[in-house]
A and B are shown apart, each in its own frame.
Chain A
Amino acid sequence: MSSARTLKLTGIIGVLLPAVFISIFPLVVMISTSFKTSQEVYIPPPTFLPRAPTIQNYFDIWSVAPLATFFRNSMIIGLGSTALALILAIPAAYALTRFRFRGRQFYQLFLLGIQMFPPIVIILGIFRVVAGLNMVDSLTTVVALNAIFSLSFAIWMLSGYFSTIPPEIEEAAMMDGNSRLGAMVNMILPLSWPGLVAVTIFGFMNGWNEFLFALTFIRSQDKLPLTIGLFKFVTRFQVQWHQLMAASLLTTIVVVVLFMLVQNQLTRGMVSLGEK
């Protein structure tokens, strides 16, 4: 027993602590740098913690870069793609759980298969189609593409929630004069709100973290989302790291808070993919 305890203690000190340290390290560096003055960042030696903490960077970033525009665009992509994904996913998930139609299994396998498909592999094909539709340099394109790549997870997750609701509940609602769709909207959706919340936040995070589609399709500066906007900063000749880290922290806070809110549902949903 004591050997097991020693082993556990060794594990916590030798594996867990370093892992936690490395996991949060970039966040710590980001926070620390964002409160430094430009002299402290550029005159060696580097420091871990700011010697003279300042919040000046958080005021300056709004004027040195069109950060507000980047924020707005990321919001549009995050909210727009989530809304679109939900509109498409709710009916599909309902059909998959309440009907035993031909091709149901095929569609489920298809969803599972594309679930993990990295968009980069087909980006050239998407580029051809988007160019053909004359939709280059448009936020709509980025919204639509993000919705598509959140869609299979959304359908999968919502099906899981819908299937736990007994069909009798809808039948009762239909007896009361609801149509089948009405019963779905009035009875099923309210009952599966944890799933809807999880899917919403997952979709929003996907859109917020979006990189590839905006990199490929967005040309005008006033349509760039935060991720690409900040990346363009890095590749410029002179990087103002203290300002960049301040903007990065604002970008991060939005999704980290959301993530922590639905951490349990989200991990359960994602894990069920690997482990169903």
Chain B
Amino acid sequence: MANQTIAVRMEQPSTTYRALTGWRAEWRDNRMAYGLLLPSVIAFALFLVFPIVNMFIAAFSTVDTLGRTVDFGTLANFETLINDARMPQIIRQTAIFGFGTVALTVVVAFPLALILNTEFRGRTVAKALILIPWAMPFAVSAITWRWIFHGQMGVLNYTLSQLGIIKEYVVWLGEPNLAFSAAMFVEVWSSIPFMTITFLAGLQAIPPHIYDAAKMDGASPWREFLDMTVPQMRTVIMIVTLLSVIWAFRSFAVIWILTQGGPLYRTDIAVTYLYKLAFTNLDFGAGYALAVCIFAVLIVFSLIYTRILGNREDA
């Protein structure tokens, strides 16, 4: 009891002082660390943080023809965006594209990982070949898909007509719904390797002994999968799905190369539309506003992602 009183009395007047000496000790012990971090911090500040701040300021200002921001504190850019008749369509297409490609990728990648997790001849080769889309430069594969989808000379039309599936050649990238599906397909194609490999790593981390009991009970492979594998993989699936939704915003290049958002904005998603607003229509104000909106959505996803990761690291 007496000890406690003394401790309290000693601490009370000295919080500021202690904070100061704390920082002084911190500086003395870790001066070198701050020095070593400085170059990377400056780089991030200049090319990442400063652009973001700059973009936010511009979004809430009027931007004149020379790109200067005048009278900060207006919502005019956001009003332009809301009054843009194409926005509902863009939002719908973004949602379908983002969640659709991720769902399709999970549906393909999970069985693939399950198969690659078993022993069979040619497994290493199969794994290496599955990784090919990841290794290829993305722009180059998108160009090649454009060639495959080509209306007159493309190998896809030829094959389908030889197989009797289509009678007349299809203009894959000219018809809105087909072009949208084609873009989704290419996006899924390019996302499968990463997701498969991540799932595979998750499966390999499951301790084998948890299956022993199931084996002894004579459980079917299907029950074993549902009762053992899926629960073990739940967090991995959640994290990867979230990561892929964030990455779906990267799909700029695939759409830009395949269709440039056409025909009639029907394959545009938020990121391609943002680029068009600014660099094609030269409506930078609306572009900033849209970018800020996408940024906000991404921050929410990123926070959930880091939260889940953080929880797992504590555990």
Interface of A toward B, CB cutoff 8 Å: 3-4, 7-8, 11-12, 15-16, 19-20, 22-27, 29-30, 33, 41-42, 44-46, 48, 87-89, 91-92, 94-96, 98-102, 107, 109-110, 112-114, 116-118, 120-129, 131, 144-145, 147-148, 151, 155, 180, 208-209, 211-212, 215-216, 226-228, 230-231, 234, 241, 244-245, 248, 251-252, 255-256, 259-260, 263, 267-268, 270-271, 273-276
Instruction: Give Cα distance in the complex from A70 to B193, angstroms.
Output: 28
Label chain B's interface by main secondary structure. helix
Instruction: Give Cα distance in the complex from A121 to B302, angstroms.
Output: 14
Contact B153 A151 (CB under 8 A): no
How many inter-chain residue pairs (CB < 8 Å) link A and B?
Answer: 269
Interface pairs (8), CB distance under 8 Å: A3-B220, A8-B118, A24-B132, A27-B132, A100-B30, A123-B275, A148-B48, A227-B137
Contact B47 A148 (CB under 8 A): yes
Question: Binary interface profile of B, 54-90, with partner A (CB < 8 Å = 1, else 0)?
Answer: 1110100000000100000000000000000000000
Residue among B30, B33, B221, B278 with the highest chain A CB neighbour number at 10 A: B33
Q: Is B95 an interface residue (CB 8 A)?
A: no
Distance to closest chain A CB from B306 (angstroms): 6
Please name the 5 residue pairs, one residue from A and one from B, whose CB atoms are nearest each other, closest first.
A125-B55, A125-B51, A99-B33, A259-B135, A91-B36
Instruction: Assess A118 versus B247: contact at CB under 8 Å? Given A255-B137, A259-B135.
Output: yes
Instruction: Give Cα distance in the complex from A269 to B172, angstroms.
Output: 37
Contact A263 B40 (CB under 8 A): no
Instruction: Assess A121 versus B291: contact at CB under 8 Å? Given A19-B130, A255-B136, A263-B131.
Output: yes
Which residue from B134, B240, B256 sits with its C-beta under 8 Å from A259? B134
Contact B274 A124 (CB under 8 A): yes
A residues near B143, Cβ cutoff 8 Å: 230-231, 234, 244, 248
Q: Is B128 an interface residue (CB 8 A)?
A: yes
Q: Is B232 an interface residue (CB 8 A)?
A: no
Name which residue of chain A comes closest to B161, CB basis: A45
Instruction: Give Cα distance in the complex from A16 to B126, angstroms.
Output: 8
A residues near B288, Cβ cutoff 8 Å: 124
Instruction: Give Cα distance in the complex from A162 to B131, angstroms.
Output: 28
Contact B136 A120 (CB under 8 A): no
Distance to closest chain B CB from A171 (angstroms): 15
Contact A118 B271 (CB under 8 A): yes
Instruction: Give Cα distance in the complex from A270 to B195, angstroms.
Output: 10
Name which residue of chain B comes closest to A215, CB basis: B256
Distance to closest chain B CB from A28 (angstroms): 10
Contact A270 B137 (CB under 8 A): no
A residues near B189, Cβ cutoff 8 Å: 22-23
Instruction: Give Cα distance in the complex from A212 to B142, angstroms.
Output: 14
Label chain A's interface by main secondary structure. helix
Instruction: Assess A23 versus B302: contact at CB under 8 Å? Given A29-B144, A255-B137, A275-B202.
Output: no
Instruction: Give Cα distance in the complex from A131 to B236, angstroms.
Output: 41
Contact B274 A120 (CB under 8 A): yes
Contact A128 B192 (CB under 8 A): no
Contact A46 B114 (CB under 8 A): no
Interface of B toward A, CB cutoff 8 Å: 26, 29-30, 32-34, 36-37, 39-40, 43-44, 46-48, 50-56, 58, 67, 108, 111-112, 114-116, 118, 120, 126, 128-141, 143-148, 150, 152-155, 158, 189, 192-194, 197-198, 201-202, 205, 220-221, 236, 239-240, 243, 246-247, 249-250, 252-253, 256-257, 271, 274-275, 278-279, 284, 287-288, 291, 294-295, 298, 302, 305-306, 309-310, 312-313
B residues near A48, Cβ cutoff 8 Å: 155
Name which residue of chain A comes closest to B287, CB basis: A124
Contact B67 A101 (CB under 8 A): no
Contact B153 A211 (CB under 8 A): no
Contact A248 B144 (CB under 8 A): yes
Contact B47 A92 (CB under 8 A): no
Name which residue of chain B comes closest to A133, CB basis: B46
Contact A245 B291 (CB under 8 A): no
Instruction: Give Cα distance in the complex from A128 to B197, angstroms.
Output: 38
Which residue from A122, A244, A267, A275 sits with its C-beta under 8 Å from B52? A122
Contact A26 B295 (CB under 8 A): no
B residues near A128, Cβ cutoff 8 Å: 51, 54-55, 58, 67
Instruction: Give Cα distance in the complex from A89 to B52, angstroms.
Output: 22
Instruction: Give Cα distance in the complex from A241 to B148, angstroms.
Output: 11
Instruction: Assess A25 versus B148: contact at CB under 8 Å? Given A260-B135, A276-B309.
Output: yes
Contact A116 B246 (CB under 8 A): yes
Which residue from B52, B55, B252 sits with its C-beta under 8 Å from A120? B252
A residues near B34, Cβ cutoff 8 Å: 95, 101
Contact A27 B136 (CB under 8 A): yes
